[in-house]
Structure 1
Amino acid sequence: MRQFVQKTEIHLFNNASDFVKEMRIDSKDFILASRSVYEKYFLPLNLSAHVVFKSDYGKSEPTDLMVDALISDFKASNCERIIAIGGGSVIDMAKVLVLKEASNANDIFLRKIPIIKAHELVAIPTTCGAGSEVSAVSIVSATEKGTKLGLADKALIPDYAALIPELLTKMPYEVFVTSAIDALIHALESYVCPKANRYSDLFCVEASRLIVNGFRRIIDEGEGSRLDLLEDFLLASNMAGIAFSNAGTGAVHAMSYPLSGQYHVTHGEACYQLFTSVFQEYHRVNPYGKISRIESLLADILDCAVEDVFSKLEEVLDQIVPRHKLHEYGMRETDIELFADNVIEMQQRLLNQSYVKLGKEAMMRIYRSLL
């Protein structure tokens, strides 16, 4: 039985210039980038690559329509290699460009075409949450359905991940910590997924330790202290990505997608709103399984009693960035059953990977408690 796979070659660079020299960027490279990061760190390097920005296609998280336009531009460029410079949204969009017969998002995400890789992909994360630089997953919003669609296939895995901590320097504080919470959720969800094993657990544990200890330092020393921790958070995000690429994620992610799709809440923020409530439901249903081990680990990191782990974790995270009630995003009581039905219809892959499989009533109860 397969235990662990890591297909992406991971590089760590001091700065963008070192990356450009080692990877030999030229006119056959197609770069999809976050405009602000590219203009600050890469524009001064006078690259000959074909460059487009995510904002050229829209300001929201990726949609099927944005992906369609991007595919058209990539084909017109006649470039050979793809380089994604940005957060998970940018990298997710770039992943579909590697496919041999890519023509539109609908055909790709519904697997109406063969999922065959034809181009090399280099992923440079500029946030510390998605882990998309090492994952086989791409997520887009389906415009007409009002939810998110995911494609998981080894063809989407980036060939190289370039970690450059300086690219995180100008991230707004709230974006930074929300991204890091997303990475923490990846690590903890992966740890309790049925496919987890002792290899993936190593990455879950170290990522969780780095992130929670980093948060405690930020609480003690102030927001500016995160600048001394950029490499720690970037590595933790990468480790969490490696973990969920092998073990998967579960109900936190599944339940977040209707919130993101309907009310345009960013992925990390949507997951954060549901995180501890889903884990408390996991504990309620099966307190003696693997969740007990993650509770012991967190109790050690947080220096608290095991039975207080989730309340203590909520306290720490609320000090980092307060959560919102779901009604603040626009969610209504009438959405609760619709969201639960949507999850059951669209997110079976994630529900089947959960620590325990949540039914409709449990999901409705969680949504209602957070409304």
Structure 2
Amino acid sequence: MSATIFGPRIMLIGGGSIGRVGEVLAKLQVSRPLIVTDPFMVSSGMIAQLTDPLSKAGIAYDVFSDTVPDPTTTVVSAGTERLRSGGFDGLIGFGGGSPMDTAKAMNILAAHGGQMRDYKVPNGVDTAAVPLLCIPTTAGTGSEVTRGTVITDVETDEKMLVMCLAGQADAAIVDFELTMKKPFRLTADTGIDSFTHALEAFVSQKRNPYSDSMAIAAMQRIGANLKTACFEPDNRAAREQMMLGATQAGLAFSNASVALVHGMSRPIGAHFHVPHGLSNAMLLPAVTKFSLEAALDRYAQAGRLIGAADAKDSDENAANKLLDWLYQTNEDLQVPTPPAYGIEEAKWTGLMETMASQCIASGSHANNPRIPEHGEIVELYKQVWAANR
């Protein structure tokens, strides 16, 4: 069986690598980029980590900083108009997954027009308007290396997955030093998000030897360094390993697809505005428990890779030790349940059927080792609400 592998043309990885942004843009023949970022990056002055080396390289730029935590069609439309009217020959997505996803969506709409819903899975396009450079400032989404972007349709409250070649960044700069000041909650949520990417890619029905190699490396790195990065935020070695692990996890799932956790997570984000990594963390133990028997050997190997189990454990024991590790990690990293997050029970219950339908419509559930029926997804939402173990 052959596998088609996607990734950026250029990847610059390592501490301080953002200082070479001018070199990367020169290779892409970009002389006037539009930076897509979020308001905090501007107000905090963190954007200077990008704009200072741009200015030093003599590169003119402008900034679109109206992105929101869950990118919406409204913001994408505004950004697309800015891109079209400003005479820009490139884009830089700078920040977490939201700015990078927004930049990708803008690039697709600027090239092809229409509405963002026109390009959601299974539809897609191969070409974008301008070269795109993605620079992550969190160790989590992997968006810098994926073909995917997730955008919320404000008219339907649907969190749409767009997965196509036009969503692939042309280049990525992966500089762990950009994550050094990230707070505990963000480090935890993005770290669990990246682990979810790796684990789902590893058990996905679309997996392949390349995606396996990236998923295995990512799980080893993240399993060994996640809690250290959270509880020792100045630990450079842990931060570096988490950043590289997140990028490898992004390469893994972009070439194998995510599965049921992500399918169930997107509706939670759309309806309740729970950050993506956090909603993944809420779901991961329960969905893994549901899926365990359908890929026992894979989950067992994952348990061994992260050090929760060893070679002496049977597959059943190793898989169950992985599950215990997931529950314990949520406890250690203070991942709230939906009610603890402040979600109203009546609204959660009332939307479970809709969320299950949206999960199925995304297609991600079909990549899961155990493919759930609609009613089983509803039951999983019930379990996650009650934090049933």
After TM superposition, the score normalised by the length of structure 1 is 0.89
Q: In the alignment, does 2:274 pair up with 1:265?
A: yes
- Any unmatched runs of 5+ in structure 1? none
The Cα shift of 1:70 comes to: 0.4
- 1:12-161 superposed matches below 5 A: 12-15=13-16, 16-24=18-26, 27-34=31-38, 35=42, 36=44, 38-45=46-53, 47=55, 48-54=59-65, 56-57=66-67, 59-99=68-108, 100-102=111-113, 104-109=115-120, 116-161=127-172
Residues 333 and 283 of structure 1, relative CA distance in 2, 3 Å threshold: farther
Taking a change above 3 Å as real, the CA distance of residues 117 and 40 of structure 1, as seen in their structure-2 partners, is closer
Residue 103 of structure 1 deviates from its aligned partner by 5.1
Other structure's SS at 1:357 match: coil
Deviations 1:3-41 (A, max 9, x none): 251331211243232223453496522211242464341
The amino acid of 1:206's aligned partner reads A
Give runs of aligned pairs for residues 194-209 of structure 1, distance below 5 A.
194-209=205-220
Q: By how many angstroms is 1:87 displaced?
A: 1.0
42-51 or 344-353, larger mean C-alpha shift: 42-51
Q: 1:297 aligns with which of 305, 309, 323?
A: 305
Moved more, 160-169 or 305-314: 305-314
Cα distance 1:297–1:149, how it changes in 2: closer, same or farther (>3 A)? same
Find out whether 1:11 has 2:12 as its counterpart.
Answer: yes
State yes or no: 1:177 paired with 2:194: no
Distance of 1:253 and 1:289 partners within structure 2? 22
**For the residues of structure 2 that align with 1:188 and 1:148, how far apart are their CA atoms?**
22
Q: Which sits farther off after the overlay, 322-331 or 257-266?
A: 322-331
Which deviates more, 27-36 or 171-180? 27-36
Counterpart code for 1:7: G
Q: CA deviation at 1:213?
A: 0.5
SS of aligned partner of 2:159: strand
Counterpart of 2:15, as a letter, is: N
Q: Give the 3 Å change call, closer, same or farther, for CA 218–18 of structure 1 in structure 2.
A: closer
Asked if the contact 1:83/1:123 (under 8 Å) is kept, the reply is yes
Q: What is the CA-CA distance between 1:108 and the residue it aligns to?
A: 4.2
Asked if 2 retains the 8 angstrom alpha-carbon contact of 1:201 and 1:243, the reply is: yes
- Corresponding residue for residue 364 of structure 1: 378
Counterpart in 1 of 2:203? 192
Q: Secondary structure at the match of 2:363?
A: helix
Give a deviation string over 1:272-310, Cα, whole Å, max 9, x none: 1000110000015x2645334334434556898523321
Seen in structure 2, the aligned counterparts of structure 1 residues 23 and 13 have a Cα distance that, compared at 3 Å, is farther
Moved more, 1-10 or 68-77: 1-10
Q: Distance in 1 between matches of 2:252 and 2:20?
A: 28
Q: 1:313 aligns to what? A: 326
Pairwise CA RMSD of aligned residues? 2.7
The aligned amino acid for 1:101 is H
1:141, distance to aligned residue in structure 2 (A): 0.9
Q: Structure 2 stretches of 5 or more lacking a match? A: none
Work out the percentage of aligned pairs sharing the same amino acid: 22
| Matched length | 365
Residue 324 in 1 paired to residue 324 in 2? no
Distance between the aligned counterparts of 2:152 and 2:5, measured in 1? 28
8 Å CA contact retained: 1:4, 1:199: no
Greater mean alpha carbon deviation, residues 89-98 or residues 44-53: 44-53
1:157-190 C-alpha deviation (Å, 9 max, x unpaired): 1111111121112212210121111000000011
Query: In the alignment, which residue of structure 2 is the partner of 1:163?
Result: 174
Could you tell me which amino acid in structure 2 is paired with residue 17 of structure 1?
Answer: G
SS of the residue 2:283 aligns to: helix
